Structure 1
Amino acid sequence: MAEMDVALKDTMQIEGAVGAALVDQTSGMALGTAGGGKHLDLTVAAAGNTDVVRAKLRAMEMLSIAEKVDDILITLETQYHLIRPLTSRSGKGLFLYLVLDKERANLAMARHRLRDIERRVDM
């Protein structure tokens, strides 16, 4: 799981990162977390965002959309929440979850960096 730890550490290096998790979308369990804190329980966020991923995939199936999801963005007043499903064979069924401080983050750069991290993860 050293690779997961490196990926989470790299994710936390993204400007504005508040917390990150690698999540199993089948169980909703966070396999690893970094950051977070008193006001951001990444274990709860992982479980809740699993429902978001499942709902999006179900909607795409009902609409017969055969494309893959690059990422899912949830914008709050002070935060961005990015969900990036892993596409590698070994990462299938997992997603990276990243919470950014909206004041400090560059969303385009964060998406670019998260994509690079996702490409390097081989679970």
Structure 2
Amino acid sequence: MANVELALKEATTVIEGAIGAALVDYTSGMALGTLGGGKDLDLTVAAAGNTDVVRAKVRTMEMLGLNDEIEDILITLGSQYHLIRLLRSRGSQGLFLYLALDKQRANLAMARHQLKKIEAELEV
């Protein structure tokens, strides 16, 4: 089992093209941990903004009566992928992993697979 710091380190070093990663509580919008980012990507701001995206999608699913779970949400920009993976493991309700990727260097399918593996090993 990996803790938050190790999970974020794995996400940013093992996943090709990773720019930054965060573990976010979408009930509060607060980042519980961040790694990477930089002057072009403020992960604290991204965490708060993506909290709104997750809340909106959860609310929409409830209004539609969809009895299903969100695995991940993909936002495609001109030069980046932003991947949001909602955590489903015991004790992690209300949390998501956020990963920003350089579109030129990333393999999206592999990134999704590796992020799922990191989620499975994460102990919050």
**TM-score normalised according to structure 1 size:** 0.97
2:114 partner SS: helix
Question: 2:67 is matched with which residue?
Answer: 66
Shift of 1:32: 0.4
Question: 2:3 is matched with which residue?
Answer: 3
Shift of 1:90: 1.1
1:63 maps to amino acid: L
Q: Distance in 2 between matches of 1:96 and 1:7?
A: 10
1:115 partner SS: helix
User: How much is the aligned-residue C-alpha RMSD, in angstroms?
Assistant: 0.8
**TM-score normalised according to structure 2 size:** 0.96
Segments of structure 1 that go 5 or more residues without pairing to the other structure are none
Question: 1:112 is matched with which residue?
Answer: 113
**How high is the sequence identity, in percent, across the aligned residues?**
69
2:100 partner SS: strand
1:41 maps to amino acid: D
Matched, 1:25 2:26: yes
The runs of at least 4 consecutive aligned structure 1 residues that moved more than 2 Å come to: none
